């Protein structure tokens, strides 16, 4: 009786009536009759390929089987108690890997839920794997959604697995020999199988691109580092060389993503990737999408073997350093020296006002050096024993960034040289808001420590002295708005005329606010936040320091605050001791 209803229903669909089932079922039924010439009354058994054919299919899918195995095992553990079987088929629909209960092996083999069965739609009729291959989408083909009467007891939920170039590579299928009647009973199976397929794509992309940048995305910060939604692999110039299917959807809405540049897609370039690495707080790793939305990003640096000593970093090897400045002769000179020192072991001291880009430069040096780990220590308030345990815990070789070295406590300053000597495979990069001469002459750092850290010294200019302010404005704006926003000439002139005591950090914040306040895509003068005004207290700090000959301890006593507060205010105001 059921068979007769089933055949009649298929006939109705062929006559142009919708069945009320999922549209991919109706479409597949029509293909079965009109394209493959199938007859729904025939009870076709499962199609099993020959032993030789099976070996060929399996050999060709070996890489995918390897990438998928651990996800499949996890998935099988989750569902084994409910009598599900798992099939991994290749892109032609042939089952090349299988997880099921051996107790039911004969029954499963008879139903085609076994190694070597061929579930392509033109052979098996409407079925999960076949419909998934044709549509490229996850599907559930439940009971009498199947075309042939032989399969109407089964429920099959299938999700596509794409390779990193966007080609369908495999189908992951989870099936039941006998299932409860409502199709909605398989919603959980659908969610499990699509998540597993996503993880297989992710594992495959990561394994194939160990020597490239990988940028992973998640809409929720909690899952960014542990279970991201999608990812792209980028070459050194920021071009997409691989992507998971979900990333293609998110970034290019199904258009070709391979070969696109990341700055065109996201308004960030390869130079910005170090800012999206794991040691940054997740909430700071926000990436703007072209459609106005935003996601969290996690950049994973290329894992290349260490460069032989003396080898230089090619300027085209990723542009991590060259992307830090436009045409400012001082910065260009500085970056070309930094570039030569990046792959060496020389410890670096980077000085400059707060917000001038010291941390960013240190990270870029690390990236260009292609060392393993990167660890940041904020020196203010860091007890010596904590510093020691963080350093001890680092896998090496690594770069150790010591931020605001002038804030190191006396005990930590005494302990640091010994720690560095004990770990020669840690390359130290220290940053300071004070000038090198202030660090030395005011005994802020013990002389021995200063020379231990200052193998080469770089002084980043404050933004008001840079000649590439226009370039930086454009670059930051592109990064913040994904290339959507532009400035009116008067807003641009106003930004070019400002002093920028907070340097690049202040510029970034001002543009951020302006993008939020602007109506539409144009930022005009009223959208710019007011520049900060110097208070009397700020003016008097410099006077007090001058009067105390820049002796911090004396200035602190005179102002009635402690030494670190004086240092903090000096940094905040961008004051510099006269040389
Ligand atoms: N060359 C650059 N191009 C674009 N943005 C930059 C550049 N350099 C720094 N920035 C941005 O400016 C902000 C401040 O940079 P960074 O943290 O490196 O400054 P800093 O000198 O280390 O500051 P502090 O001394 O206060 O820690 C960051 O948001 C950073 O991403």
Bridge partners, residue 141, by sequence? 156
Distance 1 CA to ligand 1 centre (A): 74
Contact 216/230 with Cβ under 8 angstroms?
yes
- Percentages helix, strand, coil for the chain (3-state, rounded to 5) are 50, 15, 35
Phi, psi of 398 (to 5 degrees): -150, 165
Query: Cβ(501) to ligand 1 under 6 A?
Result: no
pLDDT at 442: 64
Structure tokens at 339: 């570039």
Contact 258/241 with Cβ under 8 angstroms?
yes
Q: Distance between CA atoms of 478 and 474, rounded to whole angstroms?
A: 6
Distance 7 CA to ligand 1 centre (A): 69
Give the mean pLDDT of 408-436. Answer: 90
From 122, 123, 121, select the one nearest 158 (Cα to Cα): 121
Query: Cβ(352) to ligand 1 under 6 A?
Result: yes
The better pLDDT of the pair 397, 488 is held by 488
The better pLDDT of the pair 45, 246 is held by 246
Distance 125 CA to ligand 1 centre (A): 60
Contact 225/214 with Cβ under 8 angstroms?
no
Highest mean pLDDT among 149-158, 193-202, 289-298, 475-484: 193-202
Q: What is the dihedral of CA 322, 325, 326, 332, to 10 degrees?
A: -70
**How many residues are given for the chain?**
579
Distance 433 CA to ligand 1 centre (A): 12
pLDDT at 314: 41
Look at domain 2-201 and name its CATH class. Answer: alpha beta
Q: Distance between CA atoms of 469 and 460, rounded to whole angstroms?
A: 14
Q: Distance between CA atoms of 221 and 141, rounded to whole angstroms?
A: 34
Percent of the chain with pLDDT over 70: 94
pLDDT band at 2 (very low <50, low <70, confident <90, very high): low
**For ligand 1, atom 16: residue with the closest CA:** 357
Q: Distance between CA atoms of 118 and 129, rounded to whole angstroms?
A: 9
Phi, psi of 350 (to 5 degrees): -115, 115
pLDDT band at 149 (very low <50, low <70, confident <90, very high): confident
Contact 162/138 with Cβ under 8 angstroms?
no
Q: How far is CA 492 from CA 28, 201, 305, 454, 463, in A?
A: 58, 44, 44, 38, 15
**Omega of the bond prior to 397 within 30 degrees of 0, cis?**
yes
Candidate from 355, 405, 434, 461 with most ligand 1 atoms within 8 A of CB, to mutate: 355
Query: Cβ(462) to ligand 1 under 6 A?
Result: no
Query: Cβ(285) to ligand 1 under 6 A?
Result: no
Least confident segment among 31-45, 234-248, 470-484, 532-546: 532-546
Phi, psi of 377 (to 5 degrees): -115, 125
Q: Distance between CA atoms of 287 and 228, rounded to whole angstroms?
A: 14
Q: Which atom of ligand 1 is nearest to the CA of 360?
A: 18
Percent of the chain with pLDDT over 90: 46
Query: Cβ(112) to ligand 1 under 6 A?
Result: no
From 216, 274, 278, 272, select the one nearest 242 (Cα to Cα): 216
Q: Distance between CA atoms of 330 and 348, rounded to whole angstroms?
A: 18
The phi-psi region of residue 404 (left if phi > 0; otherwise alpha if psi is between -120 and 50; otherwise beta) is left
pLDDT at 548: 77
pLDDT at 391: 87
Average pLDDT, the chain: 87
Distance 504 CA to ligand 1 centre (A): 6
Q: Distance between CA atoms of 284 and 333, rounded to whole angstroms?
A: 30
Q: Which strand (E) or helix (H) includes residue 34?
A: helix 23-34
pLDDT at 308: 42
Distance 445 CA to ligand 1 centre (A): 24
Distance 489 CA to ligand 1 centre (A): 26
pLDDT band at 254 (very low <50, low <70, confident <90, very high): low
Distance 360 CA to ligand 1 centre (A): 5
pLDDT at 173: 96
Q: Distance between CA atoms of 96 and 93, rounded to whole angstroms?
A: 9
Inform me whether the pLDDT recorded for 307 exceeds 50: no
Fold of 322-461: Rossmann fold (3.40.50)
Query: Cβ(512) to ligand 1 under 6 A?
Result: no
Q: How far is CA 351 from CA 361, 404, 447, 461, 545, in A?
A: 11, 9, 16, 9, 20
The phi-psi region of residue 319 (left if phi > 0; otherwise alpha if psi is between -120 and 50; otherwise beta) is left
Could you count the other beta carbons within 10 Å of the beta carbon of residue 415? 19
pLDDT at 97: 93
Query: Cβ(505) to ligand 1 under 6 A?
Result: yes
Give the mean pLDDT of 500-523. Answer: 93
Structure tokens at 220: 């929720």
The better pLDDT of the pair 80, 363 is held by 363
Query: Cβ(432) to ligand 1 under 6 A?
Result: no
Give 533-576 pLDDT, tens digit per residue. 655 555 578 888 887 778 777 777 677 666 777 777 887 788 88
Three-state DSSP class for residue 394: coil
pLDDT band at 178 (very low <50, low <70, confident <90, very high): confident
Domain ranges in the chain are 2-201, 209-300, 322-461, 464-527, 536-573
Contact 217/287 with Cβ under 8 angstroms?
yes
**For ligand 1, atom 2: residue with the closest CA:** 324
Q: Do domains 2-201 and 322-461 have the same CATH topology?
A: no
Three-state SS annotation for 64-85: HHHHHHHHHHHHHHHHHHHCEE
Distance 354 CA to ligand 1 centre (A): 8
Q: Is the dihedral of CA 473, 477, 478, 484 positive or negative?
A: negative
Domain covering 464-527: architecture: Orthogonal Bundle (1.10)
Could you count the other beta carbons within 10 Å of the beta carbon of residue 397? 17
Contact 427/399 with Cβ under 8 angstroms?
yes
Find where tokens 């930094």 sit. Answer: 338
Give 323-362 pLDDT, tens digit per residue. 799 888 899 999 989 988 998 889 999 999 999 999 999 9
From 283, 263, 285, select the one nearest 274 (Cα to Cα): 285
Distance 286 CA to ligand 1 centre (A): 16
Number of H helices and E strands in the chain, helices first, is 22, 17
**How many Cα neighbours within 13 Å face the side chain of 225?**
10
Residues of 91-123 as b/e, b for ≥16 C-beta within 10 angstroms?
bbbbbbbbbbeeeeeeebbebbbbbbbbbbbeb
Give 88-140 pLDDT, tens digit per residue. 999 999 999 999 887 777 888 888 888 999 999 999 999 999 999 999 999 99
């Amino acid at each position: 009786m059921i068979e007769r209803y089933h055949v009649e229903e298929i006939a109705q669909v062929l006559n142009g009536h919708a069945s009320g089932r999922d549209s991919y079922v109706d479409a597949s039924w029509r293909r079965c009759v009109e394209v493959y010439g199938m007859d729904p009354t025939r009870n076709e058994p499962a199609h099993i390929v020959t032993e030789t054919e099976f070996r060929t299919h399996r050999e060709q899918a070996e890489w995918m089987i390897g990438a998928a195995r651990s996800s499949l095992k996890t998935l099988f553990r989750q569902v084994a108690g409910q009598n599900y079987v798992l099939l991994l088929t290749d892109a032609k629909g042939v089952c090349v890997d299988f997880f099921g209960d051996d107790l039911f092996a004969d029954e499963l083999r008879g139903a085609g839920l076994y190694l070597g069965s061929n579930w392509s739609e033109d052979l098996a009729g409407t079925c999960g794997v076949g419909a998934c291959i044709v549509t490229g989408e996850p599907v559930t083909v439940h009971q009498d959604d199947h075309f042939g009467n032989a399969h109407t007891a089964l429920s099959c939920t299938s999700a596509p697995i794409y390779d990193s170039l966007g080609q369908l590579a495999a189908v992951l299928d989870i099936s039941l020999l006998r299932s409860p009647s409502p199709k909605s009973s398989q919603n959980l199976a659908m969610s499990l199988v699509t998540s597993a397929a996503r993880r297989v794509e992710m594992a495959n992309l990561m394994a194939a691109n160990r020597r490239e940048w990988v940028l992973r995305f998640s809409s929720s910060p909690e899952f960014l580092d542990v279970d991201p939604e999608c990812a792209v692999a980028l070459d050194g110039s920021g071009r997409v060389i691989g992507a998971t299917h979900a990333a293609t959807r998110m970034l290019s809405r199904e258009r070709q993503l391979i070969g696109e540049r990341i700055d065109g897609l996201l308004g960030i370039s390869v130079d910005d990737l170090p800012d999206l690495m794991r040691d940054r707080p997740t909430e700071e790793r926000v990436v703007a999408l072209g459609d106005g939305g935003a996601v969290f990003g996690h950049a994973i640096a290329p894992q290349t073997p260490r460069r032989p000593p003396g080898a230089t970093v090619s300027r085209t090897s990723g542009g991590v350093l060259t992307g830090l400045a436009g045409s400012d002769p001082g910065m260009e000179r500085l970056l070309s020296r930094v570039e030569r020192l990046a792959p060496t072991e020389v410890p670096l001291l980077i000085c400059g006002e707060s917000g001038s880009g010291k941390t960013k430069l240190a990270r870029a040096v690390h990236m260009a050096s292609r060392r393993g780990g990167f660890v940041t220590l904020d020196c203010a308030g860091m007890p010596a024993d904590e510093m020691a345990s963080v350093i001890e815990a680092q896998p090496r070789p690594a770069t150790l960034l010591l931020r605001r070295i002038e804030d190191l406590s006396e005990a930590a300053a005494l302990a640091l040289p010994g720690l560095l000597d004990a770990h020669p495979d840690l390359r130290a990069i220290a940053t300071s808001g004070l000038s090198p001469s202030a660090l030395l002459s005011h005994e802020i750092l013990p002389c021995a420590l200063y020379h231990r850290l200052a193998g080469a010294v770089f002084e980043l200019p404050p933004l008001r002295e840079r000649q590439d302010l226009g370039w930086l404005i454009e670059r930051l704006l592109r990064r913040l708005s994904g290339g959507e926003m532009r400035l009116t000439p008067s807003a641009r002139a106003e930004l070019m005329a400002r002093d920028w005591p907070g340097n690049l950090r202040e510029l970034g914040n001002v543009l951020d606010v302006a993008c939020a306040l602007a109506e539409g895509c144009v930022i005009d003068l009223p959208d710019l936040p007011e520049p900060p005004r110097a208070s009397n207290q700020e003016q008097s700090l410099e006077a007090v320091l001058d009067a105390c000959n820049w002796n911090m301890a004396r200035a602190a006593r005179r102002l009635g605050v402690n030494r670190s507060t004086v240092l903090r205010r000096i940094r905040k105001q961008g004051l510099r001791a006269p040389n």
